Amino acid sequence: MKIDSIHTLEKLKEKSFKKVYLRNPNEAIYDDQKDILVCGGTGCIASDSNQLIKNLNLILKARGYDHKVNIIKTGCFGFCEQGPIVKIQPDNIFYVKVVPKDAKDIIDQHIIGGHQVERLLYKNPTNEERIHKHKDIPFYKKQLRIALRNCGRVNPEDIYEYVAFSGYEALGKALAKSPEEVIDLIKKSGLRGRGGGGFPTGLKWQLTRESEGDIKYIICNADEGDPGAFMDRSILEGDPHSIIEAMIIGGYAIGANHGIIYIRAEYPLAVERLNISIKQARELGLLGENIFNSNFNFEINIKYGAGAFVCGEETALINSVEGRRGEPSNKPPYPAQEGYWSRPTCVNNVETFANIPPIILNGPDWFSSIGTKESKGTKVFALAGKINNIGLVEVPMGTTLREIIYDVGGGIHKGHKFKAVQTGGPSGGVITEKDLDTPIDYEHLAEIGSMMGSGGMIVMDETNCMVNISKFYMEFIMDESCGRCTPCRVGTKRMHEYLQKITNGEATMENLDNLEQLAYMIKDGSLCGLGQTAPNPILSTLKYFSDEYISHIKDKVCPTKECKELSTPKNREVQI
Amino acid sequence: MPNVQIEPPHSDLPREKFEQLSSYIDSLDTARGALIEILHKAQDLFGYLPRDVQLFVARKIGIPAAEVFGVVTFYSYFTTSPKGKHTISVCMGTACFVKGSDEIFQAFKEKLNINSQETTKDGLFTLNNVRCIGACGLAPVVMVDEKVYGKVTLEDVEHIINTYRKEDSI
């Protein structure tokens, strides 16, 4: 069957709805059918959720309930700390930390017996009470899931489930408009690049459309390199069709017939699901020639990265897609003018794409009503480190850091004290207690010395040494510096050496001055974003925690005792 | 791409793998821009990318060997030395780092008596530090081949090593 019009898509949606009606909150359900949703994200698979699914299936069959209950392997629910996650629909019951041997209780007690399995319910850490319903869990209360809308809701390997939740409707709508109208709509929505730059997406599309050339390309940047951020991976694993749909829309808007997904080879599950989705979309005529009978043709290819942080930078990415070393080039010309094989190219990030279909479906006004004046919509953060609720969260722009850390994140791990939070990964900076009430958007984060970045959010407590943390980031950047320009290639190495000296207790105050000067020099002198932002972790920790640096240098003491060389007996004697 | 016949080098590397690589390259529409894909395939086949394999690829697709070497050494996914039977990857993403993965890594180094990217003398283990495998909820994380160990403590290190040693001695 081919989908050749909105009409056939609607028919298919109606037909597919049977598959998912148990998961629709607006439906009144009177029969005894159930859906068991099991998280199949990387984190939960690591905790044996595949075996759990096998066990559930076996026991269902043995009890003769397999015709009444469907087991669906979904994408990431986001609540990774509590994984593996199991959700029973339409009951809206949310089980956490489910191990394979719990399958028996879930089937016998809940499905057959009709009683919830108390011990598997989420326990509220503040009052030790068990919470039954998914929607009542504090972790989810302040969240607004747009980009992650289908993660944990659909089977990512089934295009019909995606269609049942209005999938590819946005594509049908977009193809009925002119490309200029589509661009206008995205511009009006205020959507900005979620990869970290924050460049207005609609404008990027317009610039690529206006560039001269009969062949153009649209590239999805899925080379998620920020250590500690995994939202792109979760979207690709949990809702791959949304990316494919958005790329076709983007291709239509800028005038490209060819899309490329550039993805890390380290993400095998995401690659597998993308391949499945592309094949399914092709079979239904959503990729290929004359899509929706509109005379528009579009194809998508996957290209693999091979592990290089700098390839997140768009000119470096394009070099890598062309099979070369992923070194950045000088801008201009911008990729919108001369990109992949010197043709006009538009590079957008995974999360940016995930926002496109809802914007087309619900309209730009809906999207721009969410968020702050300059930053519209939501942002996904990967919350990790010393925090209770580790996982993926999506909140409206303008939510404060305090709300994310304490309300959504459930506060600091094991009752420790909050010390700092790092946003923007190795290119960002630390934020301390005094700025926790800052509403999060691109501008405010820059104002307080950090940045949005791709959305990594690492929380640190009083046991983390800030000098050690900035040494960690510098080691990362030093490894990942591509070597093209001198300030970054040599400078990051020198900065790392200074930090090594400080944490070894061998540095002088003069070294510290030099380190700071060097940091500014590298900021000003580097070719691409990687080098220009490389000194940020040092500069921001120096700003807020200079006493820790001084204590390492003058007293030869690491206040948190994290730096081993400064807590050996030899050094303690010196101190006495 | 046009069928260019290149004789595999005389080396200890299995000849049939060169033939497989050769027919993979022949099956591509064009080798233009496909170097990284070809190297992925080559590493799948051989397990690593030794000099002879790099030279073979360069001659086969008609580019300087220096360009191939430049790409191989640029990306952390490619390796030029053979790997042990099991690869132990300690996650050094930020989430794992703030939960003490550097100490875990240190413990593996000491117990196995090797450095990062090295292989034990008996060829059993290769030790790697990797950047974020996306299982931050389980930090600190260690991956042995495809198996993920979450919330690893210093005490677990010896246990993990012994599991694979025992398995191997049976």
> Is A474 found in the same domain as A570?
yes
A211 and A63 in one domain? no
Q: Do A228 and B133 touch (CB under 8 A)?
A: no
Least CB-CB distance to A228: which of B32, B67, B94? B94
Residue finishing a domain among A348, A368, A388: A368
Assign B4 a pLDDT band (cuts: 50, 70, 90).
confident
Continuous segment of H or E residues that includes residue B156: helix B154-169
B91 and B59 in a single domain? The answer is no
* In chain A, residues 208-227 whose CB comes closer than 8 Å to chain B: 225-227
Give yes or no: residues B123 and B150 share one domain: yes
The DSSP symbol for B136 reads G
Give dist(CA A81, CA A18) in Å, integer: 32
One domain, residues A515 and A445: no
Q: Which of B98, B133, B151 is the best mutation test for A, with the most CBs of A within 10 A?
A: B98
Q: Are B49 and B13 in contact (CB under 8 A)?
A: no
Specify the pLDDT at position A13. Answer: 95
User: Is residue A437 domain-shared with residue A472, that is, in the same domain?
Assistant: no
Residue B142: which CATH number?
A: 3.40.30.10
Residues A508 and A390 in one domain: no
Cis peptide before A90 (omega within 30 of 0): yes
B150 and A47 within 8 Å at the Cβ level: the answer is yes
* Interchain CB distance below 8 Å, B95 and A458: yes
pLDDT at A267: 86
pLDDT of residue B131: 81
Q: Would you give the DSSP letter of residue A333?
A: S
Residue identified by tokens 């909105």 is A6
Task: For residue B20, give every residue at least 6 positions away whose Cβ sits within 8 Å of its Cβ, in sequence order, or none.
Answer: B45
Residue with tokens 């062949």: A215
Statement to judge: residues A337 and A315 lie in one domain: yes
Task: Assess contact for B119 and B81: CB atoms under 8 A.
Answer: yes
pLDDT of residue A30: 62
CB contact under 8 A, A304 and B37: yes
Indicate whether A343 and A384 sit together in one domain. Answer: no
- Cα Rg of chain A (Å, integer): 25
Is residue B8 in a domain?
no
Q: What is the pLDDT of residue A126?
A: 79
Q: Which domain holds residue B36?
A: 15-74
Put simply, the chain A residues between 427 and 466 with a CB less than 8 A from any chain B CB are 456, 458, 460, 464
Q: Specify the amino acid at residue A272.
A: E
Helices A536-544 & A466-480, crossing angle to 10 degrees? 170
Indicate the DSSP class of residue A403: I
Kindly state whether residues A199 and A283 are assigned to the same domain: yes
Question: In this structure, are A499 and A534 located in the same domain?
Answer: yes
CB A135 within 8 A of CB A117: no
Name residues whose C-beta falls within 8 Å of residue A192's C-beta, 6 or more positions apart in sequence.
A198, A199, A200, A201, A375, A376, A442
A568/chain B closest Cα distance in angstroms: 16
Residue A273 covered by a domain = yes
The residue type of A255 is G
Of A81, A425, A464, the CB nearest to B137: A81
Q: Are A300 and A361 contained in the same domain?
A: yes
Do A410 and A358 belong to one domain? no
Task: Specify if B4 maps to a domain.
Answer: no
> How many domains is chain A partitioned into structurally?
4
Q: Which residues of B touch A456 (CB under 8 A)?
A: 94
Looking at the domain assignment, is residue A14 inside a domain? no
Three-class SS state of A492 = helix
The verdict on a CB contact (< 8 Å) between B33 and A321 is yes
Contacts of A37 (CB under 8 A, 6+ apart): A23, A72, A74, A86, A87, A88, A89, A152, A153
In a domain, A237, yes or no: yes
Same-domain pairing of B46 and B25 = yes
What was the pLDDT predicted at A568? 58
Co-location of B21 and B92 in the same domain: no
Give the strand order in the sheet containing B147-149: B125-130, B86-91, B142-144, B147-149
B98–A464 C-beta distance less than 8 A: yes
B106 shares a domain with B163: yes
What is the DSSP track for A9-36? HHHHHHHHHHHHGGG-TT----S--EEE
Between residues B36 and B135, which one has the greater pLDDT?
B36
Judge whether A261 is closer than 8 Å to chain B, CB to CB.
Answer: no
Query: Rounded to 5 degrees, what angle do the CA atoms A50, A227, A217 make?
Result: 90
Give the model's pLDDT for residue B168.
79
| Interval A273-330: pLDDT, tens | 999 999 999 999 999 999 999 999 999 999 999 989 999 999 999 999 999 999 999 9
Q: Please tell me whether residues B90 and B158 are part of one structural domain.
A: yes
pTM: 0.94
**Which of A 305-324 lie inside 8 A of B, CB atoms?**
305-309, 320-324
User: Which residues does chain A have with pLDDT short of 70?
Assistant: 25-30, 568-576
The ipTM estimated for the assembled molecules is: 0.91
Same domain, A236 and A361: yes
CB atoms B95 and A47 under 8 Å? no
CA distance linking residue B100 with residue B121, whole number of Å: 28
Question: Alpha helices, DSSP H only, in A64-193?
Answer: 103-105, 138-141, 159-164, 169-175, 179-189
- pLDDT value of position A46: 87
For chain B, percent of residues with pLDDT exceeding 70: 98
User: Which alpha helices (H) appear in A198-311, and where do they start and end?
Assistant: 201-210, 231-238, 240-254, 268-283
CATH of the domain at A487: 1.20.1440.230
Q: Check whether residue B70 and residue B90 sit in a common domain.
A: no
A345 touches chain B (CB under 8 A): no
* Nearest residue of chain A to residue B76 (CA atoms): A307
pLDDT digits 0-9 by tens, B83-135: 899 999 999 988 899 999 999 999 999 999 999 989 999 999 999 988 888 78
B53 and B22: one domain? Answer: yes
**Is residue B5 situated within a structural domain?**
no
Q: What is the CATH number of the domain that holds A349?
A: 3.40.50.11540
Q: Which of B26, B110, B119, B111 is nearest to B80 (CA)?
A: B119
Whether residues B103 and B159 share a domain: the answer is yes
Tell me what pLDDT residue B135 has.
Answer: 83
**Min distance A47 CA to chain B CA atoms (Å):** 8
The total of structural domains in chain B comes to 2
pLDDT at A522: 97
Interface test with A, best of B57, B102, B116, B131 (most A CBs within 10 A): B131
Tokens of A96: 């956490």
Q: Which domain holds residue A355?
A: 166-368
The alpha carbon dihedral of A560, A565, A570, A576 has a sign of: negative
What gap in Å lies between CA A278 and CA A280, rounded to an integer? 5
B9, part of any domain: no
Residues in chain A within 8 Å Cβ distance of B34: 323
Residues B95 and B63 grouped into a single domain: no
| Residue written as token pair 């153009």 | A216
